[in-house]
Every structure is written in C-alpha cells, then in structure tokens.
Amino acid sequence: MLGFTFITHQIYSFIMYVIYLSFVSKVSDPNFGGIYMTLLCTFANISLAITKTGSLWLVDILTFKQCTTSSQNYCSASTLIKSCRAAGGKCSTIIDGFYAEVVISSILGVIWFYIIKKPLINLHLSDRKSWLVYKEENSAKVNVNDTTRF
C-alpha cells in the first residue's frame, strides 16, 4: 500500500511540474531567453522550500503530549519531560501535530482555492503579450543607446 501511495504521489508531482514548466515557457519573454524562465522557476522553488520548512516547524508546535502520571503536566518543555520521567511516567501523545496540520492545511487550501480561483483563471486566459517585459508598443520608444538618462 505504501508503494502504491508513493508511486501515485510521484506521478502527480511529475504531472504538476510539467504543467508548471509549460506555463512558464508559455509566458516567458523571448527577449530575455532563459533568464526570465529561470527567475520564475526560482520564485516557485523558494516558495516551495519556505512552505515545506514552515510545515515541518508547525508539526512540533501542533503536537500535544501529556504525562501519564500527572494530568497537569503537558510535557511542553524539557524540564517538564524530565519531571514526568522522574515521577515514573512517560509523555504520551494526545494530539499528533501531523494530523492536526493535515486538517488545518486542507481547510486553508479549500478557502485559498475559492479566493484565488477567479484570478488564476484570468491569469491563465490572459494574452501572452501581457507577460512581456517590453511590450511591442513601448519597444519602439526605448532608445538603448541613449546614455544621457543616467
């Protein structure tokens, strides 16, 4: 079962990555070549790394434990964990932070989807020319040899 889940995850991850790259290649400005495409991919990779780091950090915060010998000891600090062990108890997990984070992230994801759905559709339907850094009507006005501006 775990192998099937892993393979399914890899397939969907690959599909999402290919779709993202096709979008980036569609909107990249050919005047800048691969630089514009690399910049968009860099932003995507940084945002992915930040969300992964934040998610891993939140798992520990959302995990709640309680000492088996004292119902008022929630094992939230190292001194409380030591006092629980000294009393002959152990810290048992009441709420696992992973499952709490899955529920919270799913709810936030659905809310985010309904908020951002219309702008994403408009972004997808926008003309390719709206992504260009130098638009065709402005490119004739720019004089690259004019050094008096600097």
CA distance 85 to 91: 8
The average pLDDT across 66-75 equals 89
Residue 94, pLDDT > 90, answer yes
Residue 145 lies inside a defined structural domain of this protein: no
Residue 32 lies inside a defined structural domain of this protein: no
Residue 85 lies inside a defined structural domain of this protein: yes
Kindly state the percentage of the chain with pLDDT values over 70. Answer: 89
Residue 12 lies inside a defined structural domain of this protein: no
pLDDT tens digit sequence for 102-139 = 999 999 999 999 999 999 888 878 887 777 776 655 55
Per the structure, the count of domains in the chain is 1
Residue 147, pLDDT > 80, answer no
How many other C-beta atoms lie within 10 A of the C-beta of residue 84? 22
More confident residue, 25 or 66: 66
Q: Which residue range(s) make up the domain with 78? A: 65-95
Residue 133, pLDDT score: 72
The average pLDDT across 26-46 equals 83
Contact present, 79 and 41 (Cβ < 8 Å) = no
Residue 75 lies inside a defined structural domain of this protein: yes
Residue 54 lies inside a defined structural domain of this protein: no
Long-range contacts: 18-21, Cβ < 8 Å, 24+?
Answer: 20/44
Residue 72 lies inside a defined structural domain of this protein: yes
Residue 147 lies inside a defined structural domain of this protein: no
Residue 77, pLDDT > 80, answer yes
